[in-house]
Structure formats: C-alpha cells, structure tokens
Structure 1
Amino acid sequence: MDLFSPSWSALRSAVAGLPDEDFGRPSGCAGWLVRDLVCHLVIDAQDVLITLVTPAEGPPTVDADTYWKLVPPPTGEDPLDALIPRLAAAYGDPALLRFHLDDVGAAAGRAAGLADPAALVATQDEVLTAGDYLTAYVLEWTLHHLDLGPAVPPPPAEALAAARGSLERIAGAAFPAAFTDGDALLVGTGRRAPTEAERGALGPLAARLPFVLG
C-alpha cells in the first residue's frame, strides 16, 4: 500500500509532461494510442474512488496478487476496449484529457491516503482489504507507466521491483536474474518480444509468454 501513492504520482506526472503530439502515437498497450491509455487511466481512477467507498462483508476472497487473473490476449471484441478509443477521441484537445486525469487522479490519490488498510471493500464480485486493493494497483500503474514509452521519466525503482515480484507470484515463475525489473515486466506481459539472448535465458518459460492480466 505504501507504494500506491508514489507509483500513481509518478504516472500522473509523466502524463502531465507529455507533449500534445505524443497523445497520437502508439502506446505499449496493443491497439491503443497514448490518448486511449490516458483515458483508461481516468476510468481506473474512477474505479479506485468507487471501490474505496464500497464496503463489503468478509471474509476476503482475494488478496493483492490473486486480485489479478491470467487471461487470454485481448481480441478487440470486448465492449469496454472498443469504447475507450472512441471516448478518448471525443476529448479532442489533449489538455482536456490531462485536466481530467489530474482532477480525478488527485481525488483518487487523496482517497487512497485516507483509506483504512484493513477495511473490506468490494469490486468485480470480489472482496479484499483496501490495503490489498491499493497494493494490487501498483502493478497496474507501473505497467501503464512503462506503456508511455522510454521518453518519459521511469517509474520509481521500488514500484518496478514490487511489480516484478507481483507478476512472478501471479505467474508462478521467476524471470532470470539478468533481466532488469522493467525488462521482466515488458517481456513478461508481451509488451515487447524477447531478444534472442533473452529467449535463451528464459528457457521453457518463453513458451508460456505473454502473461496477460485481467
């Protein structure tokens, strides 16, 4: 939970510093432009606000890692996936997207800071502590920060390490020690293909990639 705020602040700062022309280039999320990704982050921030004020009865059904499921790669047929590019395009001016993310994102950050880590909340038909819920989002924020590309300042090192650890626990497999945390996340989730040397280091694990989270 302690990494939620720095990872979220770093991601929002990276978006705030993007020039307008970058909103029209591809992001690390297959099929999405950067503007689509930023629109998705607005929806994520709304989800954080909604979940933190949705109390639940126990016991918890998932924790910070089991909140995420390994799912098949997207086909583009999911209605929400199709909606986001249309919604992002409707903003027109990138400044409007930046403003909306800053506005809703700041509120989500404040709500996270006020949350009782032990309180039970409900989301996506699951129950978990607020602390586990916010911890789960460190992986989300870190991956999407990487999706903005190498031109922006990187995610905090602690968030990268925590996100790698989460992915390895979710997948039940460890990436080679020679992989940086960023490379483990990018290659592990299919955001880039492994090099020949990386594929050799991965060994049998290469056949299981990518790990798509949903």
Structure 2
Amino acid sequence: MDLFSRSWTALRTAVAELPDEYFSRPSGCAGWLVRDLVCHLIIDAQDVLITLVTPAATEPTRDAVTYWNLVEAPTGDDPLDALTVRLAAAYEEPWLLRFHLDDVGSAAGRAAELADPAVRVGTRGEVLTTGDYLCAYVLEWTLHHLDLIAHLPGAAEPPAEGLARSRELLEKIAGAAFPPSFSDKDALLIGTGRRGPAEAEKAELGSWAARLPLVLG
C-alpha cells in the first residue's frame, strides 16, 4: 500500500515538473507523445477510484501477479488507444492535463491510503484484494514513470523500491528471472520491449531473449 503511494506520488510529481514543451515530445510508449501518456494516467487514476469503490463478495480470482496478462504487441488499432490520443489533443494546453491529473490523481492517492488491503474489489471481471490490486499498479506506475522520462535526461527516476518490486512482479509474470547483472531499470526496459538488448545482454538472456518483449494487458 505504501509503495503504491510512493510510486504514484513520484510519477505525479514528475508530470507536474515537466516543462510545457515536453508534452508534445515522444514518450517511451511507442506511438504516444508525453501528452498522450499523461492523458492515459488520468484514465488510470479514474480506474483506480472506480475499482476501490467496487466491492466484491466472492473469493479472489487474481492476485498482484496474475492481474496482468501477457498479450500480443499492440497494432495501433485499439479503439481505447485511439480515444486516448484524441482526448489528449483536446486538452490543448499542458496546464489542463496537469490540473486534471493532479485533481483526479490526488483523489486516487487518498482513496488508496484509506483503503483496507483485505477488502475484495472487482475489476475487469475479476476479484482481487485491495492490497493485491494496488500492488499490481506499482508496476503500471513504474513503467509509465520510465516512459515519461525516456527522453528527458537528468529527470528523477521512479523510487528504487518501486523499480525492484516491479522487476520482481515482471519476473513472476514471465516465470523466469533476468540476469543478476541487469539493473532493475534495464530489466524492466528490456523485458517490456522499451529498449532492445545489446549483444552482450542478449547473450546473457540466452534462449529467453526469443520470448521478449513481454507485453502486459
């Protein structure tokens, strides 16, 4: 629960500190500008709020690891992705995106802090404990923090604990561990296809390199 809050606060702070001109630059999400990514974060924050007030009475069907599915690489045809891009453009001014993310994002953060980790909630047709749901989102926040600063040298990175926990989650999702020589950040970037492995890294990955990237959905 605490790691969710720290990861989310760090990501929202990074957005708040972005110069206006960076909103029209590419992000680490292929095909998305920074403004598109920030718009996606607003939608994510809304999803967190909705889920936290959607109690479930049945036993959990997923946990922090199995919340995520490995899916095919996006083709660009997904209607929600297209909507995100159009919606982001409609904001026109970066300060509007910052304001909306701060408004909805702060509410999502407060709701997470007040939530009982043992309470079961429903989302995407599945049931999780609140604690597992928020833990799963540490991976989401951490990856998108890396996307946000992908082309912004010197920007503050995600919390080290968030990077470590996200690597752990990704390895459990994949059912295999990255080489110990990989930093947590590099394991996440290479594992999810945000950058390709160098020849030496590919050699360390061995046969596992053929399974990459791991696309989460």
Partner of residue 34, structure 2? 34
In structure 2, distance between residues paired with 1:139 and 1:58:
25
- Runs of 4+ aligned structure 1 residues displaced above 2 Å come to none
Partner of residue 7, structure 1? 7
Q: Which amino acid aligns with 2:211?
A: R
How far apart are 1:57 and its partner, in Å?
1.4
**Matched residue of 2:2: which SS?**
coil
Which one of the candidate residues 198, 211, 215 is aligned to 1:212? 215
Q: Gaps spanning 5+ residues in structure 1: where?
A: none
In structure 2, distance between residues paired with 1:55 and 1:23:
36
In structure 1, distance between residues paired with 2:14 and 2:117:
27
Residue 174 (1) aligns with residue 199 (2): no
In structure 2, distance between residues paired with 1:121 and 1:7:
21
Q: Which amino acid aligns with 1:41?
A: L
In structure 1, distance between residues paired with 2:165 and 2:115:
21
In structure 1, distance between residues paired with 2:23 and 2:102:
16
List aligned pairs for 1:64-103, cutoff 5 A: 64-103=64-103
How far apart are 1:2 and its partner, in Å?
2.3
Partner of residue 54, structure 1? 54
Q: Gaps spanning 5+ residues in structure 2: where?
A: none
Q: Which amino acid aligns with 2:43?
A: I
In structure 2, distance between residues paired with 1:198 and 1:22:
31
**Matched residue of 2:194: which SS?**
coil
In structure 1, distance between residues paired with 2:2 and 2:136:
11
Q: Which amino acid aligns with 1:171?
A: A
Residue 125 (1) aligns with residue 128 (2): no
Partner of residue 110, structure 2? 110
Q: Which amino acid aligns with 1:34?
A: V
Q: Which amino acid aligns with 1:70?
A: L
Aligned-residue CA RMSD (Å)? 0.7
How far apart are 1:51 and its partner, in Å?
0.3
Partner of residue 194, structure 1? 197
How far apart are 1:64 and its partner, in Å?
0.6
In structure 1, distance between residues paired with 2:101 and 2:138:
17
| 1:37-96 deviation per Cα after TM superposition (whole angstroms, max 9, x unaligned) | 000000000000000000111200000110000000001111101111100000000000
| Aligned residue pairs, count | 214
Partner of residue 18, structure 1? 18
Q: Which amino acid aligns with 1:174?
A: A
Identity, in percent, stands at 74
Residue 154 (1) aligns with residue 152 (2): no
In structure 2, distance between residues paired with 1:191 and 1:26:
13
Residue 185 (1) aligns with residue 196 (2): no
How far apart are 1:197 and its partner, in Å?
1.1
**Matched residue of 2:56: which SS?**
coil
**Matched residue of 1:116: which SS?**
coil
Partner of residue 163, structure 1? 166
In structure 2, distance between residues paired with 1:155 and 1:99:
21
In structure 2, distance between residues paired with 1:51 and 1:126:
11
How far apart are 1:199 and its partner, in Å?
0.7
Q: Which amino acid aligns with 1:188?
A: G
